[in-house]
Amino acid sequence: MGEFVIKMPDVGEGVAEAELVEWHVKPGDPVREDMVLAAVMTDKATVEIPSPVTGTVLWLGAEVGDTVAVKAPLVRIEISGEGETAAPVEEKPVAKVEEKPAVKTEAPAPVSKPARPAKVEVKAPTTNGVHANGAHAAGERLEKALASPAVRLRAKESGVDLRQVTGTGPAGRITHDDLDQFIARGAQPALAPAGLQRKTAVDEIKVTGLRRRIAEKMSLSTSRIPHITYVEEVDMTALEDLRTTMNRDRKPDQPKLTVLPYLMRALVRTIADQPAVNATFDDGAGIISRHHGVHIGIATQTPAGLTVPVVRHAEARGIWDCANELNRLADAARTGTATRDELTGSTITISSLGALGGIVSTPVINHPEVAIIGVNKLAVRPVWDGTQFVPRKIMNLSSSFDHRVIDGWDAAVFVQRLKTLLETPALIFVEA
């Protein structure tokens, strides 16, 4: 018998390490050729690592959440024959990612206690439905405790259930001293209603994979970018009428239109007048890159978490083409098949929560971009037209800008231009 060592593969050009997000095997498991052993993640792209041999798993070189360098030993498998090397691989830091100390969860060994002499248990007399030791008898009906109004008031203010206090006064009456002693020992919480009970369990979930990437990205954005958020109402009535007509008359091979393709085309027209918004900012080098191509990131919720697939060169796409590409990328993101190139390179981002969009949001800029457009929920609201209130379809846009690069005035001008195009959608289709 021999051993075969599987090393971390090169999962992408320029990638020196990857995060281990899932094991499909454990030591002792039999594996066959092409069976998936693990999954690693880099830049939001998940890659599965198959076994090139058949055998039995001897050793795993990392834990879920660890970062593993390319070419570092990842799995050792026992196989028939001499194996990859004559001698086993030494488990050194280069061969195994340094493991973090784990918190021991074993229960402590029981401590032997000296035997105590047996004694006859004498049942204490009860008062007010409470035993003399202060505990209620099982199944015993709780009756109103005997106490003066002053004691009751103090107990209420202290959050003490008097039925849990042992009274030493005449007929078991609870005195101020009894209440003081009970509070000094640590008052017990009031009994819960029948059928209800307190829950004290805590679930600890290790932040790994895409969720860790999101946490790091959000921390970077909020710590380094001073956000300014500008919110504006947009009357979407005319655009919704146009969208309904275009969906009704669409061809069988054309996708159903949502608001997003119109917003994308309106962004392209607005950016042509204000190119400073379609930019990325390298704050380390102090360089702002204004992009001529409009690459729009679309924040998309997936079972694994939030991803941002990118519609490239929106300036060269029409309404239907934008809708087709949106659908394709959203499906790829939700099924985990989006490539690294499809998840990077955006120059401005749209964040939409659809029907859950609320009235206002404060979207976080996708670093190193300088702007993000947040789409809120569309709702019918009464609007005064000068003579009467009329129902209109209103939607808020909540847009955030990097205040180091975009001044408040420029941000407002940008959103107002976007508002004009959305409220008069024919302008979206007029040649510039």
Q: Which helix (H) or strand (E) holds 5?
A: strand 2-7
Gap between the Cα atoms of 423 and 402, Å rounded: 26
Could you report how far apart the first and last alpha carbons of the chain are, in Å?
Answer: 73
Neighbours of 7 (CB within 10 A): 18
Nearest to 332 by CA among 355, 366, 304: 304
Please say if 403 is a catalytic residue.
yes
- What is d(CA 269, CA 306) in angstroms, rounded to the nearest whole number? 28
| Contact assessment for residue 40 and residue 46, using Cβ atoms and an 8 Å cutoff | yes
Beta-carbon contacts of residue 242 (< 8 Å; ≥ 6 apart): 425
Residue in 29, 34, 273, 407 annotated catalytic = 407
Rounded to whole angstroms, what are the CA distances from 17 to 25, 72, 100?
21, 9, 18
The tokens describing 70, both together, are 């390319």
CB 279 within 8 A of CB 294: no
Written as six digits, the tokens of 268 are: 């392209």
Give the angle 369-372-374 at the CA atoms, nearest 5°.
Answer: 165
The first and second tokens of residue 156, run together, are: 């209420």
What does the alpha-carbon distance between residue 323 and residue 325 come to, in Å, rounded to a whole number? Answer: 6
Joined together, the tokens standing for residue 199 give 């829950």
**Structure tokens that stand for 71 in this block:** 């070419």
- Sequence letter at residue 347: T
Instruction: Please report the sign of the dihedral spanned by the C-alpha atoms of residue 312, residue 314, residue 320, residue 321.
Output: negative
Distance CA 410, CA 278 (A): 13
Is 249 annotated as catalytic? Answer: no
Q: Select which of 24, 227, 403, 410 is catalytic.
A: 403
Residues catalogued as catalytic:
403, 407
